[in-house]
Amino acid sequence: MRRRDFIKIAIAGSAAAWPLATRAQQGDRIRLIAVIFGYTETDPETKLRIAAFRLGGWSEGRNIRIHYFFAPADMTKEVVAKETVALRPEVILAHGTTIAAAVQRESQEIPVVFVNVSDPIGSGFITNMARPGANLTGVMQYEPGIVSKWLSMLK
């Protein structure tokens, strides 16, 4: 077989297979996100946070499913963390230090994003700010380097 004939056959074969590959990429799977709040479901602060979270541009039921868990102060965080990890979500959003710690003990594979944690390095969630390491990352509640910026804004 000559080189030109081989190239023609390869181009024709890929052109014929292209519609099949395109159709195969159409199906989006619904991803599961688990959110654990440290308050009750009826708490006004929790309701505001859920509303803000839903404004993130996702379409619930179309491309994601969000499962909310509530772990108020009188509830054991470990029980909620076990229930959450058992669902095998794509990612867990952990609200607060005690919830993030409980989830960290339950899973080292599922990515966890924490919020409202004041000292993630001291809590053992991350190794350093530039490279968090492991499966936890998040947003610090207070970062010492930003205090001067706050003071500048007040001026």
CATH number at residue 93: 3.40.50.2300
Q: Say if 6 falls within a structural domain.
A: no
Establish if 13 belongs to a structural domain: no
- Domain assignment present for residue 80? The answer is yes
154 domain-assigned = no
Number of domains into which the chain is organized: 1
Determine what percent of the chain is predicted with pLDDT higher than 70: 76
Is residue 55 within 8 A of residue 88, CB to CB? The reply is no
Tell me the mean pLDDT in the region 23-50.
81
DSSP one-letter code for 146: G
The answer to whether residue 36 is domain-embedded is yes
> Is the residue at 64 inside a domain?
yes
The number of CA neighbours under 13 Å toward the Cβ of 55 is 6
Q: Is beta strand 112-117 parallel, antiparallel or unpaired with respect to 136-140?
A: parallel
- The pLDDT of residue 53: 76
Q: Which residues make beta-bridge pairs with 33?
A: 66, 91
79-132 residue pLDDT tens: 999 999 999 999 999 998 999 999 999 999 999 999 888 888 888 888 887 788
| Sheet of 136-140, strand order | 64-70, 31-37, 91-95, 112-117, 136-140
82 occurs within a structural domain: yes
Percent of the chain with pLDDT over 90: 26
Distances from the Cα of 130 to the Cαs of 60, 107, 127, 137, in angstroms? 32, 22, 9, 10
pLDDT for position 30: 84
Of the candidates 63, 57, 60, 113, the residue with the CA atom closest to the CA atom of residue 84: 113
Is the pLDDT confidence value at 54 over 60? yes
- In a domain? residue 15: no
pLDDT band for position 15 (cuts 50, 70, 90): low
